[in-house]
Amino acid sequence: MRFGTAGVPNCSKDRSTIGGIRTIRELGLDAMEVQFVRGVKMGIDMAKQVKEVAESLNVKLSVHAPYYINMNADGVKLKGSIERLKKTVEIGGIFAKDIVFHPGYYLKHSKETTYRRIRDNLKPVVEFARDRGVMLRPETTGKPTQFGDLEETLRLCQELEILPCIDFAHIHARYRAFNSYEEFCQILETVENTLGSDALKMLHVHVSGIEYGLKGEKRHLNLKESDFKYEDLLRALKDFSVDGTIIVESPNLEEDALMLKKLWLEIE
């Protein structure tokens, strides 16, 4: 498993993407998720430089697409969502093979109608990404108003032949459950049964502490300040012989990432 941060580590004096990659390597971590969440503000030339530096330092990069994507929208909003996701693939795909995104919101539609609309609207974008060797990864989401519970995320991946981003903190917040070794194993079994054992060898995971209420996710917390049972999660991942990347979204970023990596290496 590779461990890294969602964005440039807090301790990095150079706040650029390249500066963040160098800090990741200095810290002894091995992954970073480049944050395009406020928009794709990187050009092709810089993306090529990012690729060169990451490869030279053996740091695996992924990308988080802009937040303002809703593949269940209509008209101008849908067109803009498609354009933003394609732009993320175009630029992020130069240095990363995994693009994480939030598919959308239910709005006034039923879950089934929302599913079909998102699936159909995503099909050309998936092909656009596949042609560039990029994997689109819909993320499990933390609020009941957001499309992206575990079942529909995996169903979407199965039908479109893509892979998910499993955010265990979001799942915990959304269901107010799935916070034990047995329940983490249940999630991994569901992924394996739906997408095959290969999906567990290319797993992309988000982890953080999380504050939640009746409406799901409120905000991210540092792991030790939350109720999230991260040691149970690591043990489950280890017992399923999972390979892939764990991206930490806690406010303290690299501190929790380093803690998880240390714990991972200590688990027999």
Interior/surface letters 14-32, b for 16+ CB within 10 angstroms, e for the rest: eeebbebbbbbbebebbbb
**pTM tops 0.85, yes or no:** yes
Following DSSP, what letter does each residue of the chain receive, concatenated? -EEEEESS-TT-SS-SHHHHHHHHHHHT--EEEEE-TT-----HHHHHHHHHHHHHHT-EEEEE--S---TT--HHHHHHHHHHHHHHHHHHTTT-SEEEE---B-TTS-HHHHHHHHHHHHHHHHHHHHTTT-EEEEBP-SSTTBS--HHHHHHHHHHHT---EEEHHHHHHHHT---SHHHHHHHHHHHHHHH-GGGGGSEEEEE-EEEEETTEEEEEE-GGGS---HHHHHHHHHHTT--EEEEE-STTTHHHHHHHHHHHHH--
Report pLDDT for 95.
Answer: 98
Report pLDDT for 212.
Answer: 86
Split into its structural domains, the chain has a count of 1
Report pLDDT for 28.
Answer: 98
Domain that includes residue 105, residue range: 2-266
CATH number of the domain within which 12 lies = 3.20.20.150
Per-residue pLDDT of the chain (268 residues; tens, 9 = 90+): 999 999 999 999 999 999 999 999 999 999 999 999 999 999 999 999 999 999 999 999 999 999 999 999 999 999 999 999 999 999 999 999 999 999 999 999 999 999 999 999 999 999 999 999 999 999 999 999 999 999 999 999 999 999 999 999 999 999 989 999 999 999 999 999 999 999 999 999 999 999 888 778 889 999 999 999 999 999 999 999 999 999 999 999 999 999 999 999 999 7
Report pLDDT for 217.
Answer: 86
